[in-house]
Amino acid sequence: MSVPSPTIGDFKIRRHYDERTKTWLFSVIDIIAALIEQTDFKKAQSYWTTLKNRLKNEGNESVTKCHQLKLEATDGKKYLTDVADKEQELCIKQKAILDDLKSFLMTLKSF
């Protein structure tokens, strides 16, 4: 029996079940795309790369714990992509939201 992939709004989130650890691993780029409502994969990937570098520079452990797995893309091929468990995803989501809030506040300051 196949379990459908979860969605956030119109965004499908790719995932993989790790039998060894008994946890679900979710595509970080898919989560980021849904959070920033970005339908262009390359732009979501670029956003994640920038955020990941910021998190690494801050010493954030959630990024260093990210793994890469081959997940099926929309073209049917499998590519390496960053994946994280629910706990890591929560940390990443919080950071992405805070970064967006900071940018918004900086924009308001300029008025």
Give 37-55 pLDDT, tens digit per residue. 889 999 999 988 988 888 8
Predicted confidence band at 105 (pLDDT cuts at 50, 70, 90)? Answer: low
pTM over 0.85: no
Predicted confidence band at 1 (pLDDT cuts at 50, 70, 90)? Answer: very low
In the chain the first and final C-alpha atoms are separated, in Å, by: 55
Q: CA-to-CA distance for 109 and 76, rounded, in angstroms?
A: 45
Q: Which residue has the tokens 């940390």?
A: 91
Residue bearing the bigger pLDDT, 44 or 100: 44
Instruction: Tell me what pLDDT residue 71 has.
Output: 93
